Amino acid sequence: MAQPSREEILRALAAIPYPGFTRDIVSAGAVGDVTVESGRVIVTLNLPEGRRDLAEQLTPAVRKAVSALPGVTQTVVRAGPRARLPVAGEGVQDAGPALPRARHVIGIASGKGGVGKSTVAVNLAVELARRGRAVGFLDADVHGPSAPLMFGLAGQRPRTADERGRPRPLEAYGVRVMSMGFFVDRGSAVIWRGPIVGNFIRQLLTDVDWGELDDLVIDFPPGTGDAQLTISQTLRMTGALVVTTPNELALIDALKAIAMFRKVQVPLLGLVENMAYFACPKCGERAEIFGSGGAERASRDESVPLLGRLPVDPDLARDGDTGRPVVAARPDSAPAAAFREIADAVLAAVESRDERPEGLSAFLKRFGGRHG
């Protein structure tokens, strides 16, 4: 009996869902090498270290799917190289050049676009750097990169850093920045399918000379797709921050982002409510023009602390458009004060995780009732 081809095996494996996601293990990039010799099939699974639960779920499913094919006499499932990579934030001194050597990996996410996620990510990174920390910033939004403009680096290109030809991040406001926007002309459309996006993001993580970092801040694209899965597979994240606005539609999508991070076992650091209110510059009266109470309710229902509420500020958008993060450009403004408060809470969370395994739980108890 003829043995199956590699394509037939991949089609069989594509029927296996990746746990916690709607995608299959092939399109998600979890299947590495597939070899066939005299009816013996060897499948390599690329799974993140520390996710033994995934290996336990997927290994028997792979064996069953492959063994059911005509001509298969033996099925062997092996762990791929990525499963042996050190995890960022744990054993940093041994991480080597393969992954960013960061004590903390902090994801900034939102369920939908237009809620100010990148504004939060950029200002958090700059505020952390202003405190003397070594900070990296990965703009993971391949289709809509905003970091070059918001950091004032538009039109610049990274330079080769070492003999391996790895690029070195550009630097602004004390933050090491890497983005797809540095490799394409402004206004050019990146028309890539999911697997290519995932591979490019993985390269930004593994093939860039990040150096030693205290914090790597990752600005996720909106939604719950390929970028989120790729990064959660490649790095052990310290935690994620979810940005929303007060209106119900944004909150619904923020809840989806919370659910996604829980499925991939990424700790939730908290919620940030952007455009929470407008303060009249003359009388100081506050108007909650996009609604009120939604973020507080989500915080209570999901047991996720609300770390801060950012006001509507016309200058905030102009600051981003001109590459001047508000915490550096207008440190005495209300938005800058709110970002400092958010940075305080984020550092309390990530540093408590350094001190003891139960640190995040203690943090949630301390900050869980704080609603700005």
For residue 162, pLDDT over 70 is answered with no
* Claim to verify: residue 198 and residue 308 sit in the same structural domain: yes
* Claim to verify: residue 144 and residue 289 sit in the same structural domain: yes
Provide the pLDDT confidence category of residue 214 given band limits of 50, 70 and 90: very high
* Claim to verify: residue 126 and residue 69 sit in the same structural domain: no
Work out the angle between the directed axes of helices 314-321 and 117-130 (0-180°, nearest 10). 70
Provide the domain count of the chain.
Answer: 2
CATH at 35: 3.30.300.130
pLDDT in tens, 270-310: 999 888 777 777 777 777 777 777 778 878 888 889 888 88
DSSP 314-347: HHHHHHHHTT--HHHH-TTSHHHHHHHHHHHHHH
pLDDT in tens, 55-103: 888 899 999 999 999 999 999 988 765 433 333 333 332 333 346 788 8
CATH at 176: 3.40.50.300
Spell out a b/e string for 179-195, using b for 16 or more CB atoms within 10 Å of the CB, else e. bbbbbeeeeeebeeebe
* Claim to verify: residue 12 and residue 138 sit in the same structural domain: no
In whole numbers, what is the pLDDT of the chain averaged over residues?
Answer: 81
Other C-beta atoms lying within 10 Å of the C-beta of residue 337: 15
**Please, are residues 174 and 135 in contact by the beta-carbon 8 Å criterion?**
yes
The pLDDT of residue 22: 60
The pLDDT of residue 358: 42
Q: Is residue 372 part of a domain?
A: no
* Claim to verify: residue 136 and residue 187 sit in the same structural domain: yes
**Structural domain of residue 176, as residue ranges?**
102-355
**Which residues are CB-contacts of 153 (< 8 A; sequence separation ≥ 6)?**
147, 170, 172, 177, 182, 323
Choice among 100-114, 221-235, 319-333 with the minimum mean pLDDT: 221-235
The pLDDT of residue 206: 81
* Claim to verify: residue 231 and residue 316 sit in the same structural domain: yes
Q: Could you tell me which residue, 163 or 157, shows the higher pLDDT? A: 157
